Structure 1
């Protein structure tokens, strides 16, 4: 592709996508914003590791998860590698621990046996890395190369830390013992009697992004995708609705399950969402050390892809594809453009979505009318990650950046895509184009789903 053609394509992408507010900031203002985002991430990671004693920090609370102290030092190691060494050109601080905190070198189940930094040493290490990071930020131009343009590397590190904060939050959910995390309840539903579904008309839309400065490589580039007409649930599937499936014997009926899903369910004796328990004719759950009745109006949580798929079959529906999910979330029929978020182009506020661990649970459906999409679909961002039926694949024109191991090595049929973020996701790591992925068996993550169905002419106005 010639440079002239590239420039034309960029202009076309910009017409179809909104300009990003970061690009309107002066360099001093951008650096101040970066510092604020980094500070927010660090305050959260220190709060999550500071909520327990050192014995809990080094303990492995589940073979599915790392010890919390590993996550903390891993955050510092990645920051040292990418900011201090790659951006700042500094000599390595702790090259001796690179291998220990390389997630590809050691599976989670074996990490407690490694000679990890202890709690005090890990805290000192991440503190010193961050001090040097701010020195690098102060002296680095933010426009001279790909890693630093629009502060990309700093945004990548902030997102990485927040993603590990959500992972640590999931570890807290698996931890035994009294509650150590506390947060106010989410807002109540303010919109009731929402329609069951929204029909999305057939047509093309712009999927992915070429202009979001901190978008990761798997979100790029923007490209046109044609999507047939379909209907999608207005809200995520609730606990009450999911309990109907459970109580109807859905976990005991192989008709609703894929072969792989049924084999996994049978092998592990799964009979309900993780952390649910039936007692005295009622469903209860454990949530961050609190034992409580399952609230019927919240989105269902801690279900695997296989469980979501089985529920959808039982309900006579299916899971949406990734493209369908993104079109429902971003497409604005009035302008033909794709928004940054369902509600528009402005960053999330507490009125838009349940994000940032402000609450330790999903909000009731109907709690965030200001966050609805242009098509009228609610709570697409925050509350629960939503399983889609799509495998994790590269977009046309994908280029790995800044390293293959961020996305490329995961592409293929082994991983399913999740969209939208959860109550444990920070706004810096969630947007309309953000793609998460995981094995279809995963249940400890903060995942739920909504259903979709095909729409035929005559069923609805399309």
Structure 2
């Protein structure tokens, strides 16, 4: 197995990152009951307890078992229960049955986390600079699961008729309607991908050249106000706006609005991690699939940007915005026109495929991204559930075109 190169060179830096990430995950589950921790509402989602254990297994499997000869797992069966999809790491429990694993209990899982944390800290205290890259990767892996943990929890809680809250409601921010405008970009021969400075996943590399025709891209994401116009104009009832697969999915699932939306006394409401709330009209629309986003773009006389267009347009803008760190846990109206970051991941029209010259790392860690490079679409920009430390201009996440439970939105583009 080829280890990633280290970007946090000193022991204090890597230990601080490790402790901060592990502490944040613990804080995210602190409001949950043991029953909450068991929720698994669909195959795509996992229980919070499983996220706690799987991220711990990652450090144990790829660092401690390989680089700490005296390390002993508290229970060898955890390798089967908490492996996700790493075939080379051994057999795995069925993904859609994770919510059936009532034992080990939450206390046992927290003890497992403490056991691994202590062992890894002891290992790093031996000046193991060669392991910093692997620890950094494990921390970013856990940050991804922090995002999944809160969005999986939202999906699970949404099935409860009592509409429980994860965080207490807060006053809705004052909203203002921002006119949609398009900014022109010259295009030409550009470079995209990770430039080698700081952490990045393998799928963001290598940096390479690509050609962009002149294009225009919107100054803001599509808002819920925009989306209601689409609904009221029959967007969900007009098959000519939809890709064939998208229209079939829309009919099969009965889509007539974004996930978690419903109408009450003529107004649109949505379920959030802060409970049921009126749809914030001027916040970015969220929980829409690629199919819905593509249909909206066609209805609007536009299209979705490519990921190269998005990256080049976002590059001059500082990475600031509404992320998991801010604790809003829902998209908010944009105050900074032109900001490309936070609130919602933005669908692009680009398939998740390898960049020219991509080579997956050897060993089980090579399964992290490479084997998913088929049938999924790229999104950019991060969301209100994404840790800020994850973000960089080359970061590309990916989901299947029908999926909606993540914080997914869109920004329009068009040819110049």
Contact map agreement 1:158 1:428 (CA 8 A) in 2: no
2:321 to 353, 361, 384: 353
For residues 97-153 of structure 1, the C-alpha deviation after alignment (integer angstroms, 9 at most, x for no partner) is 2121121234532222347521110000011111122222222443x5xxx4xx321
Q: How far apart in 1 are the matches of 2:172 and 2:344?
A: 13
For residues 71-90 of structure 1, the C-alpha deviation after alignment (integer angstroms, 9 at most, x for no partner) is 11101100111232334455
TM-score (norm 2): 0.89
- Summarize the alignment of residues 28-427 of structure 1 with structure 2, pairs less than 5 Å apart: 30-93=10-73, 94-104=75-85, 105-114=92-101, 116-142=103-129, 144=130, 148=131, 151-174=132-155, 175=157, 176=160, 177-182=163-168, 196-330=181-315, 342-343=317-318, 348=319, 352-358=320-326, 359-365=328-334, 367-368=335-336, 377-378=338-339, 380-401=340-361, 403-412=365-374, 414-427=375-388
Contact map agreement 1:393 1:411 (CA 8 A) in 2: yes
Q: How far apart in 2 are the matches of 1:396 and 1:222?
A: 9
Contact map agreement 1:232 1:453 (CA 8 A) in 2: yes
CA 1:276/1:123 → structure 2, altered by over 3 Å: closer, same or farther? same
RMSD over aligned Cα, in angstroms?
2.3
| Offset at residue 281 of structure 1 (A) | 1.6
| Offset at residue 48 of structure 1 (A) | 2.4
1:442 aligns with 2:403: yes
Q: How far apart in 2 are the matches of 1:284 and 1:315?
A: 23
Secondary structure at the counterpart of residue 324 of structure 2: coil
Secondary structure at the counterpart of residue 277 of structure 1: strand
Aligned residues: 396
Q: How far apart in 1 are the matches of 2:415 and 2:207?
A: 25
Secondary structure at the counterpart of residue 54 of structure 1: coil
Q: How far apart in 2 are the matches of 1:250 and 1:194?
A: 21
Q: How far apart in 2 are the matches of 1:48 and 1:62?
A: 21
Contact map agreement 2:166 2:275 (CA 8 A) in 1: no
Contact map agreement 1:238 1:296 (CA 8 A) in 2: yes
Q: How far apart in 2 are the matches of 1:172 and 1:397?
A: 38
Contact map agreement 2:261 2:270 (CA 8 A) in 1: yes
Q: How far apart in 1 are the matches of 2:387 and 2:271?
A: 23
In the alignment, structure 2 segments of 5+ residues that lack a partner are 1-5, 86-91
TM-score (norm 1): 0.80
For residues 256-300 of structure 1, the C-alpha deviation after alignment (integer angstroms, 9 at most, x for no partner) is 100000000001101000011012221111112521111111000
Secondary structure at the counterpart of residue 108 of structure 2: helix
Secondary structure at the counterpart of residue 381 of structure 1: coil
CA 1:86/1:420 → structure 2, altered by over 3 Å: closer, same or farther? farther
| Offset at residue 397 of structure 1 (A) | 1.3
In the alignment, structure 1 segments of 5+ residues that lack a partner are 1-21, 333-341, 370-376, 456-462
What's 1:19 paired with?
none
Contact map agreement 1:173 1:289 (CA 8 A) in 2: no
Q: How far apart in 1 are the matches of 2:81 and 2:331?
A: 35
Q: How far apart in 2 are the matches of 1:107 and 1:454?
A: 45
Q: How far apart in 1 are the matches of 2:414 and 2:112?
A: 51
CA 1:400/1:182 → structure 2, altered by over 3 Å: closer, same or farther? farther
Contact map agreement 1:80 1:129 (CA 8 A) in 2: yes
CA 1:186/1:163 → structure 2, altered by over 3 Å: closer, same or farther? farther
Secondary structure at the counterpart of residue 168 of structure 1: helix
| Offset at residue 44 of structure 1 (A) | 2.2
